[in-house]
Structure 1
Amino acid sequence: MNQQLAQICANGQVWPANHAPAAANSILSSGYHSLDQQLPGGGWQAGQLCEIYAAPGSAEVSLLLPVLAHLSQQLGWLLWVAPPAIPFAPTLQQAGIALERLLVVYSQDYQQTLWCMEEGLRSGQCSAVLGWPQQWHKTHIRRLQIAASDSQSFCWLWPQTGYDASGSPAALRLTLERLNNGLQLEFRKRRGSWPSAAFQLDIQASDKV
């Protein structure tokens, strides 16, 4: 491997096929059979940062409701950083999420958003960290991925930017589109596996495990 390729790998822009990721300490079902089939390991893995790209108001958090409900039964916080709208408590409660475990932070700028997310991951006090950063930089994504990996925390973020196809240090990258009968998802990156073709997810009860 030449020096330039080694640097690209070190930055997390590519993942060598012969370097399979170590088994995660914690894998949780997404709560949706069709999504579990697409996730490496059969569910969301602790320590893996996931970028989700979706238009605002496209039910972009709905695919996480079952796993957030499970995580809310733990002692840690569900930290939401800079969400574009106030989380709708009745929907979260109906999904089984314990609202007393929810901690929402409205940061003043991008740097505060990044700081809150990284500190939340490293604190050991958060079961999951969700963030909506206004900017996207590979060096910052790498910091968050390292923080998630070091703490074996769950982390999802919705960059409020267009999708950058040049690569990302995040373990997972996912695009999401709202359909009349559910969601259309496509994994653009899956560490330890190939990207997926677009597939549909029924977010109604009939598709839940």
Structure 2
Amino acid sequence: MAISLSWAGGEDPPPAPLSPVPRGRISRDPLTLSPAIEAALWRGDAMGSPVTTTLSSGFAALDAQLPGGGWPCQSLTEVLQLQPTALEWRLCAPSMRALVAQGKQIVLVGPPKAPHLPGLLHLGLDEHQLVWIQADKPLERLWAIEQLIKANAVGMLLGWLPHARQEQIRRLQVCAQSCDGPVILFRPAAAEHEASAAPLRLQARFSLDWELCIHLLKRKGPPHEGELRLPSIPGGLEDILTPRLTRPSHLIAASHSRKLSHAVGSTSSGQASGRPAAAH
């Protein structure tokens, strides 16, 4: 049995006119995303907004290119380099100093070389806040890093993983989402062509003028063009280097210029300038 519904007057009322939406205002959509979800969405041509906390790297130029303005917490960061233990301390020392000043610990897992205590003191790091875990085998390093991430008891975790598979990096990234401190993994430069679940990947190398050259391979934002040059004189040398020695590239260029001018302007013995020597 069908039942028809009608108004008391017996006729359907006329539809109410639609009021135009004022320009510059958007009507409220019941399907509007929450602020947390909106923050997690980003366009590929724009810098992503941070959904987690960040820690300043101590380099203004680098912070300006990192989403959120620093090393991401609750996430993995990969630093690729040709030679291990060559620039890690100079790259991470500024942010490590800030954490040590807050009484937080820095944990090192599997560095190829023993940390040099006098050099760390020159960088302003307190040895009482540094924990070194010696793990030689790849599985031991992976296990130690995973357990430290799950414990969430360190201010910053630095791990050296010369050999790691994609699924192992993905597992660490999932665990790192519950870690409040930055987790930075140092890997060989050859890993650039391997897929990685780490949201932030950068390539680091030295330059002649005591600088760190940084190229961002992967970030939550547009592709990074060129390199960042970060001034980074090793601890203990900044006070004793002369202004000329802080720019070795200028000295090398001047030396090559003098050698070239001497070779072009010199004449052989017994030969006048601009005139060939007489044959005997």
Indicate conservation of the 8 Å contact 2:49/2:68, yes or no: no
Question: For structure 1, which segment, 147-156 or 105-114, has the greater mean C-alpha deviation from structure 2 after superposition?
Answer: 147-156
Q: How much has 1:125 moved relative to structure 2?
A: 1.2
Per chain length, whose mean CA-contact separation is higher, i.e. which structure has more relative contact order (CA < 8 Å, sep 6+)?
1
Q: Based on CA coordinates, which of the two structures has the bigger radius of gyration? A: 2
* Alpha-carbon distance between aligned partners in 2 of 1:161 and 1:179, rounded to the nearest angstrom: 16
Indicate conservation of the 8 Å contact 1:173/1:189, yes or no: yes
Match of 2:229 in 1: 200
Match of 1:8 in 2: none
Match of 2:253 in 1: none
Q: Which structure 1 segments of 5+ residues have no match? A: 1-14
- 1:42 aligned to 2:58? no
Counterpart among 172, 189, 198 of residue 218 in structure 2: 189
* Alpha-carbon distance between aligned partners in 1 of 2:117 and 2:142, rounded to the nearest angstrom: 25
Match of 1:28 in 2: 55
Amino acid at match of 2:108: W
Task: State the TM-score, normalizing by the size of structure 1.
Answer: 0.81
What are the equivalent positions in structure 2 for 1:96-107 lying under 5 Å apart? 96-107=124-135
* Alpha-carbon distance between aligned partners in 2 of 1:26 and 1:91, rounded to the nearest angstrom: 30
Q: How much has 1:100 moved relative to structure 2?
A: 0.7
Q: How much has 1:168 moved relative to structure 2?
A: 1.0
Q: CA RMSD in A?
A: 2.4
Task: State the TM-score, normalizing by the size of structure 2.
Answer: 0.62
Change (3 A) 1:195 1:97: same
Counterpart among 80, 87, 90 of residue 115 in structure 2: 87
Tell me the percent identity: 28
Amino acid at match of 2:76: L
Amino acid at match of 1:32: F
Indicate conservation of the 8 Å contact 1:47/1:151, yes or no: yes
Indicate conservation of the 8 Å contact 2:189/2:203, yes or no: no
Deviations 1:109-128 (A, max 9, x none): 10110011111111121111
Q: How much has 1:90 moved relative to structure 2?
A: 1.8
